Structure 1
């Protein structure tokens, strides 16, 4: 029996069979900080990050040629545009915290990368080696200050490389970004559901870095399979509470030899500074810890892309007598398929698109339909952005672990219904004919969206149990990382097009699976992405930093 497998099944059935702890209520007065605080750590301001806007989002969504190198300016730019604070949210919207937003203590500061529930549990550390621009050591990226805080002085590059196994790319640089997840920053609100949310947050961040680096002529290959406990010891993290989920080797310019620390640390050096936790009471959720422990304890070799292909998403042959045949008359003869027009170009740059990204929260309006070219652009962007290049994928981010279906409400010239997206043909195949507006709203848990007013609702499908069979417990993370990357690409594409977007995990997965005819396929709907035009003239204060 697998704890992770049981957890996945509990997640997708939680609307019908509630998960423990039952009746849990967050203690909002004792919530954790949105940003870590390391008292006594020396802070070094980063460059302002304005290293050039780079190429258009269309370029950022395509694989980039290798050869570009990071500098301190480009690193600062990528960090600021992805996870640094970019401005304050004060617009009128449908969330129940709206009356708190004008108060400074409750202010919401937005970032370029989306996060489940707006919790931002990812933490970013920089291991700088001797060829870097600063004294070798371990640094923490302080997001509110856009600065690095030094946690350890000394060359620990060999320690990091030793955790990565026999991956050759890790030996070509001595600069690494480590991405950890602090569970409590999400669990205080979502309790046992938190692991499902935060593993998608890794994908949103890596997805942002992928499109940003490509737009600036750089190529990244994050690593998702490594010795987590060893890196946690280096960073002084308690594995049950926070763990490193991704290591990103940075191709780096070699500007010369930087200064050296006065004394080299011991061979197995580790950070000794501890963060200051705001919450007086940190609650442990056994299910989160058990799932995480099973994944960390799995020591099987890194899976190859070929092995992971056993969990690849498969697009069924809609039309030609298949499920969509009878309902699709008039779309394309009797084929049940609709050929989309070429995608609307995404001409805005990646940084500009990230700075414009936000959640719609009830602002959708069907007064102006989405064009088919805009829908085509969003579907293509979500598919391309979700192909995360990593140590378990090939150079183009394959195999694809996710695919998209879309329910249409207000798309010009397109009948309402549910369609499967075929990216290779840029076609839609009918899978659920007829108006689905009541179904969409009935199976959404929260009051902050009117799904009928969204032009379309994209559903991200994946086969998590097949991923567990192909890659072991870590396969669950690989799937959720790709789901998160899809979400970030869709958000960013919508910002580039000037249309609204919102993401939701609060829906009945089983009902969606039944509606889409997924029984027996192993596929599950894991994320809902709503897109469309918004009501004009909504009150808003555009409070941007810099």
Structure 2
């Protein structure tokens, strides 16, 4: 069988078709563990100190990045950042055990994303490489010494400043492929985007400068973290730039970590490898310089509104749940009811999606031209039903075609008919051929993680506004593209439904 070495080929290979869906039984005896542990290494328990900030998430998004380097950080600040990025938010009984809700959304609640940190000058913590354990809000040290020069030198392009802290986001393949098989790589990327957005919002709320990079020397960063790259891989880095230049920093030699550290990535007694996942990830290892302009990608999608309308200035909602409370209230809620949505709430959502959309390659929005955003509306006060395109950079929207498309899209989403009662389906799409031409196969990571970032943002906005929200990565791909009116090369990547909900608990 020919290798899966292009974006379009992988996406088509993993597409769902209504009459070609094979049955798939879950192997419950080999359900993967959702928490990574290192036997024989005592963890460092972090202070439990998430502050009550009572900030409006809309104002946080509007603040933007402080932009300056940070001279130092202490352990308590680091603990706050990690707690606001990835934490347990509630628990529910599940048979004889408990299920723990997390602050970031995850397909099938399988949570493939892990976080490692590299420290270079954190007060109260020795320099080194650590794994963050969400289950105990703790750090496990895997390497000692200042490794910030190694990280700075393997970013593409290299960082001019030594990071004070680097956050490394990885994904464990089998956690998601246990259920979603070859399609799981889509969820590895979306779910990682969810966690990255939480980190970005936390950093902005705390006024801490940060940079996001999806471009780095994969093999060297995987080696640094002690990963078996057939099972777990690095997908993104976020770092806090310090004030020291990396120009004269030494590049430390990195030895292989012991097998017991590498084997911590084994999450089930019987794991299955899916070649398509390994092949598309391998194809995406070379990073393409960002010289090519991505601004015109939506011109090839087939979505061309006759007219555009500017977004109105934000009309604040009457009542919002403040940050970080909305983070702890975030859930995937499917109990939508057919009820009108206030127009000012609707425009608040659109406005928040447009905030921080800059071409700066050092922020997550620097990758936003890898995908484009649309939405389908139903039952919004004073607003026509139809399919729209949202120009995030110009803060405007345009009607592509008028009509009732919400129910049709619910059918395309594997006939999940609760979706037809939502007020909005947000759509994240890309022209896969243009994406690959300009960014190579690695561009798939940009588009999917970028869509995941926006999806998590919508989750938090919905929680803030008292709305239901649920992300959907499972749909009949061609049917969805036909409903929207996409070109042959363009596909829906992610759908996020938002709407009024019943007073009964969601899912």
TM-score bin (small chain): 0.7 to 0.9
SS of 1:397's equivalent? Answer: helix
**Paired residue for 1:215?**
205
Q: Give 1:71 deviation, angstroms.
A: 3.4
CA distance in 2, matches of 1:228, 1:424: 30
**Paired residue for 1:198?**
188
Q: 1:532 aligns with which of 490, 499, 507?
A: 499
SS of 1:42's equivalent? Answer: coil
Name the stretch that deviates more: 43-52 or 187-196. Answer: 43-52
Q: Give 1:285 deviation, angstroms.
A: 0.7
SS of 2:292's equivalent? Answer: helix
**Paired residue for 2:404?**
435
CA distance 1:387–1:199, shift in 2 (3 Å): farther
**Paired residue for 1:286?**
275
Q: 1:85 aligns with which of 84, 88, 105?
A: 88
Does the CA contact (< 8 Å) of 1:210 and 1:388 recur in 2? no
Q: Give 1:308 deviation, angstroms.
A: 4.7
SS of 2:135's equivalent? Answer: coil
CA distance 1:279–1:74, shift in 2 (3 Å): same
SS of 1:134's equivalent? Answer: coil
Q: Give 1:495 deviation, angstroms.
A: 0.9
CA distance in 2, matches of 1:145, 1:128: 20
Q: 1:74 aligns with which of 63, 74, 77?
A: 77
1:119 paired to 2:105? no
Q: Give 1:385 deviation, angstroms.
A: 6.6
**Paired residue for 1:405?**
374
Q: 2:148 aligns with which of 157, 160, 183?
A: 157
1:487 paired to 2:455? yes
**Paired residue for 1:267?**
253
Q: Give 1:377 deviation, angstroms.
A: 1.5
**Paired residue for 1:462?**
430
CA distance in 2, matches of 1:311, 1:41: 50
The structure whose residues are more often strand, as a share, is 2
Does the CA contact (< 8 Å) of 1:221 and 1:389 recur in 2? no
CA distance in 2, matches of 1:492, 1:16: 32
Note the aligned Cα RMSD (angstroms).
Answer: 3.1
Q: Give 1:461 deviation, angstroms.
A: 1.9
Question: Could you report, residue by residue, the CA deviation over 1:384-403 in whole angstroms, capped at 9, with x for unpaired residues?
Answer: 37769654x6x963653333
SS of 2:171's equivalent? Answer: strand
Question: Could you report, residue by residue, the CA deviation over 1:439-491 in whole angstroms, capped at 9, with x for unpaired residues?
Answer: 123212154x5122111212112223212111211111111111111101111
Does the CA contact (< 8 Å) of 1:505 and 1:526 recur in 2? yes
CA distance in 2, matches of 1:198, 1:398: 17
CA distance in 2, matches of 1:308, 1:87: 43
Question: Could you report, residue by residue, the CA deviation over 1:173-216 in whole angstroms, capped at 9, with x for unpaired residues?
Answer: 24221111111111111110011111122221111111221111
**Paired residue for 1:246?**
236
Q: 1:225 aligns with which of 215, 224, 242?
A: 215
CA distance in 2, matches of 1:540, 1:406: 23
**TM-score of the two chains, using structure 2 as the length reference:** 0.87
Which ranges of structure 2 fall in alignment gaps of 5 or more residues?
245-251
Question: Could you report, residue by residue, the CA deviation over 1:314-348 in whole angstroms, capped at 9, with x for unpaired residues?
Answer: 59998xxx766xxxxxxxxxx6x666654343764
Larger radius of gyration: 1
SS of 2:448's equivalent? Answer: helix
Does the CA contact (< 8 Å) of 1:387 and 1:482 recur in 2? no
